[in-house]
Amino acid sequence: MFSLGKISSQLLIIKTMSKLTKFLPLFILAQAVMAKAEFSWIETKGTHIDLRYGDQNIARYVYERMNPKDRERTYKPFYHLYDIKGEKFVTKGPGGKFTHHRGIYYGFSKCAALDGTGKKVSVDTWHCKRGYQTHEKVLQQKASAKEAFLQSEIAWRVDDGTTFITEKRKMCFQFDKEGRLQIDFDSTLSTTQPKVTLDGDPQHAGFQFRASNEVAESNAKQTFYIRPKDGKDEMGKTKNWPQNKDMTNLKWKAQSVVVGGNRYFTLYLDHPQNPKPSFYSERDYGRFGSYFKSAVTPQKPLSVKYRIIFGNKQLSPEKCQQYSKDFSS
């Protein structure tokens, strides 16, 4: 079970109580046991917003505005996930192996847009070269006992400050019945420019997840992946498109890494309505995800949705498939 401190004990009580009685539905027991625990957003103004469940840290939205004097650290917003104690991050921030990899993040290394003078430019919102992303404002924010979500407006900018894409990014968090954290990513990109094209490659574009730099430094050979056709692979083994032609249009892929002496499982779910073809990449140091090619016009915004299932309870191929089926239905 995803043993987030008090969370796992509460879920264990629910499970035990459900076996002891045939008269009360499980959801009533769940409400009774977990009534005191709720999600909450705690903001440190100008830098980040933490998500808590009770007194346990769950996730962090990092949004500090891009500072030209501290560009590398501040050039894009992203989300961190906390470890099972709610003390340290299991995702990566600035620095380390490939500093541009940041927790849960979204961007494209080849964006064709216009600068402030109307000149065509190539902007990279993956490495944040010739461009960057800035958090503009929180659009919606909610926290309850059941779930929490935060929707933000993010500007994709040319280096001269011109906004060529406006993104509405929504992240929704809740725990499933087995105690795993479910994270729904919903993004809509719009533009006022005639046309913005988005491209890259599986290693440098799209929606991706990057585990803590500790994996790269110490534990890469303990990383393994679970795939729809292959099942669980050997530790340290990876597959990537285009070398592996079957790494395209996958409905799901799962990763397992060791951070802080604990093994974590992350399931990446790709919704069937997202643009296709999609191309997948994975690395033993803990980055994985997919990308696609697309374009945005004033008449045609781009919307995508992904789901991440995260925890320290083991995932089987069959369980991954069931999560995918639930997400796609």
**Which stretches of the chain drop beneath a pLDDT of 70?**
1-36
pLDDT at position 37, please?
A: 86
Phi-psi region of 31 (alpha: psi -120 to 50; beta: other; left: phi over 0): alpha
Report DSSP state, residue 92. Answer: -
* Total residue count of the chain as it appears in this document: 329
Other Cβ atoms less than 10 A from the Cβ of 177: the count is 11
Of 192, 116, 101, 214, nearest in space to 159 by CA:
116
Specify the pTM.
0.90
Alpha helices, H only, 37-159 = 71-74
Of 123, 92, 90, 93, nearest in space to 109 by CA:
123
What are the tens digits of pLDDT across the range 220-231?
999 999 999 999
Element containing residue 74 per DSSP (H, E): helix 71-74
Question: For the chain, how long is the longest CA-to-CA vector?
Answer: 70
* 245 close to 301: Cβ distance less than 8 angstroms: no
Element containing residue 151 per DSSP (H, E): strand 148-158
Q: Which residue has the tokens 């803990």?
A: 286
Q: Which amino acid makes up residue 180? A: R
* 238 close to 282: Cβ distance less than 8 angstroms: yes
**What CA–CA distances, in Å, run from 125 to 73, 95, 131?**
14, 17, 6
Give the separation between CA 216 and CA 93, rounded to whole angstroms: 13
